């Protein structure tokens, strides 16, 4: 499904690349994704990696902004919101599709530090603002990092998970 998800931002990435020649895009995953960005000199495709190796690969990319495009389909609405958390633990601000599962992050926290985008203009305006304002990027990345550490750190919630597990036995 990631090919269809990335189609949401493919044209936008080419538009951004023309306006901001210093911006580079890294797309990681299925080899079929590589065809979406063939014409863009600012895009680099990398094959995906194992689940265990992904955190190191993401950290090593040293990305400034993370994108999480997802189609609004029943299948996608059943996915997790792990992508913004992966970006957050690396202090990378995130722009995500305004669909479930990402809307769920806002139900308990109206100020959750992820930008949601419905339209191509939403995507463009969010990216443009983050590209042009390094201080804002850094602040949003730090806010997202703090949110992940505060509310999604397994070490802080291990007792709750252990209790839930024991209750199932």
pTM, two decimal places? 0.86
CA distance 72 to 118: 10
Q: Report the distance separating Cα 83 and Cα 96, nearest Å.
A: 9
Q: How far apart are CA 7 and CA 31, in angstroms?
A: 14
CB neighbour list of residue 45: distance below 8 Å, 6 or more residues apart? 26, 27, 28, 33, 34, 37
Of 42 and 101, the structure prediction assigns the larger pLDDT to 101
Contacts of 144 (CB under 8 A, 6+ apart): 84, 87, 88, 91, 92, 93, 94, 113, 114
pLDDT digits (tens, 9 = 90+) for 93-124: 999 999 998 998 888 788 899 999 999 999 99
């Amino acid at each position: 499904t990631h090919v269809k998800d990335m189609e949401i931002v493919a044209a936008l990435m080419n538009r951004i690349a023309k306006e901001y020649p210093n911006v580079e895009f890294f797309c990681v995953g299925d080899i079929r994704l590589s065809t979406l960005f063939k014409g863009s000199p600012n895009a680099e495709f990398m094959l995906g990696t194992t689940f265990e190796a992904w955190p190191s690969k993401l950290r090593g990319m040293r990305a400034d902004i993370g994108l999480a495009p997802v189609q609004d389909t029943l299948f996608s609405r059943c996915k997790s919101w792990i992508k913004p958390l992966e970006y957050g633990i690396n202090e990378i601000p995130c722009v995500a599709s305004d669909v479930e599962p990402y809307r769920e992050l806002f139900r308990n926290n109206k100020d959750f530090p992820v930008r949601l985008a419905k339209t191509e203009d939403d995507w463009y305006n969010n990216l443009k603002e983050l590209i042009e304002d390094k201080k804002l990027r850094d602040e949003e990345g730090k806010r997202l990092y703090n949110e992940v550490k505060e509310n999604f750190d397994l070490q802080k919630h291990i007792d709750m998970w252990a209790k839930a597990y024991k209750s199932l036995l």
